[in-house]
Structure 1
Amino acid sequence: MIIGIIGLGLIGGSLGLDFKKQGHHVLGISRRESTIQRAISMNVVSQASTNMSLLSTAEVVFICTPLGFIIPTLEQLIAYLPSSCVITDVGSVKTPIVNAISPVWKNFVGGHPMAGSNDSGIEAARTNLFTDKPYVLTPVSTTTASAIAVVENLIGQLGVNIHYCSPEEHDKAVSLISHLPVMVSACLIGTCEKELDAQVHQLAQKFASSGFRDTSRVGGGNPELGVMMAKYNREALLMSLQKYRSNLDELVNLIEREDWISLEQILHSTQQARGKFVKE
């Protein structure tokens, strides 16, 4: 199959590597000539260009740009494609994207691979990034069954765990397990950084180890991505932050009252609940 990929960063580059390994012909689009040359040398793509006209023969196109560029990219892209071409994206927010694109392109399927890395750019691309990871598809009532089948078949070749839900359900869920952690983690780092006692601040830097590393990782990630999460998933993220603040206020209240029994009950409950979300 001829597959187009727009945006040759971590996600787009990793898709290219895996699809090429499956024997597909991969066409890559990037704004930078240096990225194109690197993608070719890394065997991420079969051909690449800065010009979207390269995709005129593509049967499926994956839009792997940052969130804010997905809709504008689609608006430029459709001038080069036959109406039979299937388009999907990898954005971490789905409602505004699906609402904008579905009325324009009947063969559009919203998608979100739940995989990533601390690193970014074409240099971070690697094979098997998506293996055994959740990959969410968010078709709506107007999405064609044939388009869903095409995307389903392709991502199935990556060894992903496919899930289906509405764009709205997706955005509420990821606000809890993806976007909220970024904001909470950023607050953790900010709290440490704003310690006014210079000696304590210096000691905290020296003492920070695995616990701080684990809980601060996503807060120390790409600032642009964090802003895009908040901008495009604003309503759901605000609801999640408000729920988090309520839970935090409850802990503050228990500690102020020295209610260690109730605090232990909460911590025991969260200890048991963690396994429902992550498997060690």
Structure 2
Amino acid sequence: MKIGIVGLGLIGGSLAIDLRSQNHDLLGVSRQEATCKVALEKGIVDLASTDLSILKAAEIIFICTPMDKIAPIVEKLIPYLDNDTIVTDVGSVKQPIVEACSKLWDNFIGGHPMAGTAQQGINAAQSNLFQGAAYVFTPPDKSTGRTSPALRGRGQPLANLDKLKQLAVSLGAIPYICSPEVHDRAVAWISHLPVMVSAGLVAACLGETDTDVLELAQNLASSGFRDTSRVGGGNPELGTMMAQYNQDSLLRSLYGYRDRLEHIIELIETKNWDNLQQLLTENHQARPKFLN
């Protein structure tokens, strides 16, 4: 199968490595010539270019760019797409992306592989990144409005979704299917909220006005702080886009977190140690359910 990838960073490059190892033909597009050169030198793709036209032979195209670039790229791709070409993305927010892109192309299916590292760029791409990870697909609601039929593929939703699920399984990932809206509410709790909580943790520590205390805290910080603060120290652009594209669901989760945090503060202020221990015990018991 000929597979196109737009955006040869960590996710796009890692997808290419695994899919090419399965004897698919990989066509890669990047904005930067240097990235294309590295991808070819490392054997990550079979063909690389800054020109989207090389994807005209692709049967499936993954768009692995920042979220604000996904819909514009779909629109630019349309002249090069066959009616049956499947287009998907890897953005961490789905509702606004699926809504915009499915109006441009009937064969668009939203996707979100729940995998990654703190590293970025083509040199961070690695094999088996998606092994054991959830891979969520969010088909569009076909009851929504569409643009001109001239801009659309034929639309074979079940067959197209099955092809993407098979590819996800071939990566060692675990496919999940849900609506874009349900996806966004779920990831707000377990992905986007932790980024903001983690960022708030670091910012709160930096609010310590005694420089001796702050310096000692920085020197003493070990695995607990490192694990808790990791996601808040990631890509600032990605974190901002999570908030921008998933604002309502993220705010809902932040308000919920604030309420629980205020409850914990109240328990400590009133020295209600029994109820605090009960809460911590319930959390201890519930946490494994969130670890897939």
Same fold (TM over 0.5): yes
Which residue in 2 is equivalent to 1:210?
A: 223
| d(CA) in 2 for partners of 1:58, 1:24 | 11
> Structure 1 residue 81: deviation in Å?
1.0
> Structure 1 residue 151: deviation in Å?
1.2
* 1:244-263 matched pairs, under 5 angstroms: 244-263=257-276
> Structure 1 residue 141: deviation in Å?
4.1
Which residue in 2 is equivalent to 1:224?
A: 237
Which residue in 2 is equivalent to 1:127?
A: 127
2:285 maps to amino acid: Q
Q: What secondary structure does 1:273 align onto?
A: helix
Which residue in 2 is equivalent to 1:266?
A: 279
Q: What secondary structure does 1:276 align onto?
A: helix
Which residue in 2 is equivalent to 1:159?
A: 172
Q: CA offsets per residue over residues 92-116 of structure 1, 9 Å max, x none? A: 0000011111122111111000000
| d(CA) in 2 for partners of 1:182, 1:248 | 16
Q: What secondary structure does 1:275 align onto?
A: helix
Which residue in 2 is equivalent to 1:53?
A: 53
| d(CA) in 2 for partners of 1:200, 1:83 | 63
2:23 maps to amino acid: G
* Runs of 5+ unmatched residues, structure 2: 143-154
1:255 maps to amino acid: I
TM (normalized to structure 1)? 0.98
| d(CA) in 2 for partners of 1:200, 1:242 | 30
| d(CA) in 2 for partners of 1:6, 1:140 | 21
Which residue in 2 is equivalent to 1:26?
A: 26
> Structure 1 residue 83: deviation in Å?
1.6
Q: What secondary structure does 2:254 align onto?
A: helix
* 1:187-198 matched pairs, under 5 angstroms: 187-198=200-211
Which residue in 1 is equivalent to 2:85?
A: 85
Q: CA offsets per residue over residues 43-94 of structure 1, 9 Å max, x none? A: 1100000000000111110000011111111111112111210001000000
| d(CA) in 1 for partners of 2:190, 2:141 | 26
| d(CA) in 2 for partners of 1:232, 1:256 | 37
Checking the alignment, whether the CA contact within 8 Å between 2:30 and 2:36 is kept in structure 1 is yes
| d(CA) in 2 for partners of 1:51, 1:252 | 55
| d(CA) in 2 for partners of 1:248, 1:119 | 31
Checking the alignment, whether the CA contact within 8 Å between 2:70 and 2:89 is kept in structure 1 is yes
> Structure 1 residue 212: deviation in Å?
0.4
Number of matched pairs:
279
| d(CA) in 2 for partners of 1:155, 1:218 | 25
| d(CA) in 2 for partners of 1:212, 1:170 | 29
| d(CA) in 2 for partners of 1:52, 1:16 | 16
* 1:39-188 matched pairs, under 5 angstroms: 39-142=39-142, 144-188=157-201
1:126 maps to amino acid: Q
| d(CA) in 1 for partners of 2:48, 2:231 | 31
Instruction: Tell whether 2:43 aligns with 1:15.
Output: no
1:192 maps to amino acid: C
| d(CA) in 1 for partners of 2:265, 2:273 | 12
Which residue in 1 is equivalent to 2:151?
A: none
Percent identity, aligned pairs only, is 53
> Structure 1 residue 278: deviation in Å?
1.2
**Aligned residues: CA RMSD:** 0.9
| d(CA) in 1 for partners of 2:4, 2:257 | 40
Instruction: Tell whether 2:228 aligns with 1:237.
Output: no
Q: What secondary structure does 2:290 align onto?
A: coil
Q: What secondary structure does 2:193 align onto?
A: helix
| d(CA) in 2 for partners of 1:76, 1:103 | 14
